[in-house]
Amino acid sequence: MQETVETFRFTPDMLAPAKRLPGISAFMRIRNGADFLEATIRSHAALYDEIVAVHNQCNDATADILARLSAEMGPRLRVFHYLPQVNPAGSDGHARTPGDAPHSLVTYSNFALCQTRHEWAVKLDDDHLAIPQAVGEMVGKIRAGAADPQVMHCFSGLNLVRGPLGAWHVPAAAPVSGKGDIGYFRVGEGTHFAHDPRFERFVRGNIVRRFAGWFYWHLKFLKSGGGFANYELGANPGSRYVRRQARLQAGALWSLPETINGLKPGPLRRLRAVFDAKERLAVTRDNALGTAFAQSDLEAALDASAPGWRHWLEVGQ
């Protein structure tokens, strides 16, 4: 079952922390996510109390996939169709549009967050293939009351690409997804999205960020259009994502050992981390990579951490 939304205006009281249920909600914002949407939902659904899936401007099979999975999963997957045309991050339209307007990515994000019903929430993208054991350990801490509610428990994933001969690699120009922008947080009136001319910025209130682990494989660059189709780059030649796409296409391809070595923090980064909390999180993240994936190659790491990955990344493509 799906609810259609024609417009929305956000106010922080809508988050209603006092009325929330115990447990964990994931919320998704989806535009043409059919490539890996089902893989994302199926690899996470058993770990959360609900997944709130909000789709916008989809002309692929996203709506059909959500309808089928919703019929199967019932209230564990709640689907919304957000009708206002949302300006993508990095676009001129996003930069000009006030954050409280229905067409803003900020309002769209706050709408998705407001539909969650549980005390803890986490943003989930449609290209995240879960590492179930790692996610399960974090979720277990939250359910046991062992997770600090004054902390946003941030996590990251390695980006995957395929080389010219079909082998799996990590792109050297963009090896990691997640530098404190995504994590588990206790929902309050101070936790919501705000406008930045570049993108939607998550406001944490008085919650601090700490790195919790490597929780997923990021499939963004395996999507149709190389992961850049939704940014409308033809209409936005000045977008920061035009430059990002160019760096990615020109960059080297790393093996897993090369990734671990390439991300290893040097003296300058460690010095910056003393004074910069975000860099400190990134240094902690990168130091943890070698222990998170002890295997010698990417396929072995995928086999060990994400059972069934071949169905979604090889058979399904």
Q: What is the pLDDT of residue 8?
A: 97
Full-model pTM: 0.96
Number of compact structural domains in the chain: 1
Per-10-residue mean pLDDT, the chain, length 317 = 94 97 98 98 98 98 98 97 97 96 98 98 98 98 98 98 94 97 97 96 95 98 95 95 94 96 96 96 96 92 95 72
Q: Cα separations (Å) of 38 from 9, 309, 313?
A: 30, 12, 12
What type of residue sits at position 204?
Answer: R
- Give me the domain span that covers residue 161: 2-315
For the chain, the residue count is: 317
Q: How much is the pLDDT for 315? A: 56
- Residue 317: what pLDDT? 46
Encode 139-149: b = buried (16+ Cβ within 10 Å), e = exposed.
Answer: beebeeeebee
